Amino acid sequence: MGGAGGRTYVVTDPSDDELIIPKKGTLRYGVIQDRSLRIVFARSMVIRLSQELIVNSNKTIDGRGAQVHITGAQITLQGVKHVIIHGVHVHHSAPHSGGMIRDSKHHYGHRTRSDGDGISVLSSSSSIWIDHVSMSSCADGLIDVVTGSTAITVSNSHFTRHDHVMLFGASNMETQDALMQITVAFNHFGKGLVQRMPRCRFGFFHVVNNDYTHWQMYAIGGNRNPTIISQGNRFIAPDDGNAKEVTKREYTPYSEYKDWVWKSQGDVMMNGAFFNESGGQNERRYGQMDFIPAKHGKYVGKLTQFAGTLDCRVGKPC
């Protein structure tokens, strides 16, 4: 739902100087409100966050119509529902020491150190949609989803120049992540990426119609028995002969992972890429109602040609 049904709030001021009493017109003022809002931007701008940006529930951050860059610190979705992040560039997020930061209209408190993720989703957040974003070069993960968060889609986005791209489930001890369900669809994993596209623990992950044109170590990995259904993706392995395998099961012997359900259906494997499937007694049959429809991997180039932020202007269709 995002901010559906709410008013439109226009960001006119790219500054981020006030953390306890944010200035009206700034992005921080908009995201802390306790009501539904669609947040748009008056013009193209670079927003350099001075500390993590804590987003309240029922918000749509909509960068269409401008080129909006959010940098400096991470975007945090903690214990919230119904948030859409669309059409923005997120890059060069750095760790921060924390301090007194407002997280809603009626509350502020002391925050501990932030890691420097691009977008961090945690503490049982749900109904989150990250769409048409362009992300690169953050200090930690580009997108992390942890601690019981679920019902999340990452779609139509473009990722470049980063090591740890997506982490879904941060700890082997967080068994609450067994309820996690995430869809990764129609994204382009591009130049300068190393690993974790995504790296998963415990939950259920549908990876569909993505274009993997670069990785240095592996594309999809995980441990703690996640279910991973890969459908209609294109995997182009690097020339390095040591990184042809799409998958990686972290620190897990075959005797344990042989029953994990990791399936490749309709994927295209190029330049020697291969997907190490598994599945046994825990496997079930999945019908059409379980997933968004997948096209064969040969169509991925067209499906992802507009991944990332869109070049929208007034009077020009996206």
Residues designated catalytic = 196
Distance CA 201, CA 60 (A): 28
CA angle 154, 40, 159 (to 5 degrees): 30
* Collapsed DSSP state (helix, strand, coil) of residue 256: helix
d(Cα 202, Cα 260) in Å, to the nearest integer?
A: 10
Residues 6+ apart with CB under 8 A from 229: 205, 206, 207, 208, 261, 263, 265, 286, 291
Strands (E), 141-180: 143-145, 150-155, 158-160, 162-164, 166-168
d(CA 85, CA 161): 21
> 């559906």: which residue's tokens?
4
What is the distance between the alpha carbons of residues 293 and 287, in angstroms, rounded to a whole number? Answer: 10
